[in-house]
Chains A and B, each alone.
Chain A
């Protein structure tokens, strides 16, 4: 039986890592919903949810329980299988991104060196792009299967927005990849940790800005939340959904937000690098844990900025959105790429 000649320990290690990372991201997403309400409240001089538990910390569980207990409604004329597939796909695509993000350096446990990354593929960034482009299916299938013209329109809005901004995102990223020379997220982070090398934000400020704007559009965050403009465009692609299926859609948005924050932190802000500090001074395990903490802090800051923007800027009109994507961001990204190329040539 050659089938069983596998490194079972490796598989167990990876499974444990996957379980930890997936549950941790779900837990963070849970509290991101709470943070969203709290940040919105504080920016608007309100106290926000504070009744459930100390400081309202049990609020997300109350919200989740509410969603689960609600009646599950499946429209009569909907396409039943696809109606269920849609939210599942959205959630899966959102969670799959976490596989290639380096959450920390390696730790020594039970005599094994364990990388705090599920898979160090040499095309990590492309993998993220692939998964993000699949996330569109969740929206489109959900919107179409509801058999409601408003859902369908919102789904089309969402899909075309995602495709348009993916383009500018990709071109902004190419400029960064030209400077790093690698597609592996781990390599990119390690390059930034090397002494004498600044974080990539120092080399690619415009690229980062473009990437950030596009990430916001990909996550359907305000000011780009046209697929689910709840108050003026009839709620959006999940209009016919209720109960936990709706919860999956709403939740996948928050997971997406966490993942894109992690990607931005890894690409432009040194990932698990602690600024102005040499990690080699600490023992390996402690350094790795502190690094994970540093990455989490960066993610939290990004999430706060996402929310801060959401509660500051009103949403774009659809033609403004498309104009911004195609006529501003893509040309700027192209120029940025050309300048980066010229800079690299000049350095040679």
Chain B
């Protein structure tokens, strides 16, 4: 059988010599190795102060997008829910009433849009399925919570702030991902 790694060595079963049976040389060698680790660099990232950079393709919490006029893009077509392999997405559609044109882009919109973050596997298939570019995976992850209910994210958790009314919030949500 071909070796899986180039560093594997054949197990030797020959009886130990006197020096080996004393164990002391081996112990001192081991102690030398552990001692050398005192001077090695610590790879620790001290979490709340320092944060690890996400990779640009990181798939984190979902964001429901708005268009450039601040209207919700989602039309509650349900393609994301169909695409979702974990069946984490549910939604209820509603019809846009007259006078709500500045809120929703199409005639139909999602009145309720929920993602269960405990079920979600952050595969990003919803993002790919969406014909309206309404759902995106951001570069944050779900914070801890005390209850399971807290992990069911609704629209108010996910819809990105309006560019026009709340430009600061929008900038923050869009974020420079490096700060997360």
Contacts and interface: CB of A to CB of B under 8 A. Distances in A.
A–B contact at 8 Å CB threshold (below) = yes
Contacts of A45: 37, 40-44
B152 to A, nearest CB: 33
A313 B29 CA distance: 11
Interface stretch (A60-68, A90-98, A164-172, A304-312): A304-312
Nearest to B21: A328
A47 B43 CA distance: 9
Given A42-B38, A308-B34, A308-B35, A47 B27 contact: no
A46 interface: yes
A44 interface: yes
Contacts of B40: 45
B47 to A, nearest CB: 11
Contact of B27 (A42, A44, A313): A313
A contact face: mostly helix, strand, loop, or mixed: loop
Interface string A286-325: 0000000000000000000000110111000000000000
B37 A43 contact: yes
B34 A47 contact: no
A47 B38 contact: no
Nearest to B29: A312
Nearest to B40: A45
Interface in A92-108: none
B contact face: mostly helix, strand, loop, or mixed: helix
Contacts, number: 31
A179 to B, nearest CB: 23
Contacts of B46: 47
B38 A46 contact: no
B123 to A, nearest CB: 33
Contact of B30 (A42, A44, A46, A312): A312
B26 to A, nearest CB: 9
Contacts of A312: 27, 30-31, 33-34
A194 to B, nearest CB: 32
Interface string B4-37: 0000000000000000000000010011011101
Contacts of A308: 31, 34-35
Interface of A: 42-47, 308-309, 311-313
Given A45-B41, A308-B35, 5 more contacts: A42-B37, A43-B35, A45-B37, A47-B42, A312-B33
8 contacts: A43-B35, A43-B37, A45-B41, A46-B44, A47-B46, A308-B31, A309-B31, A311-B34
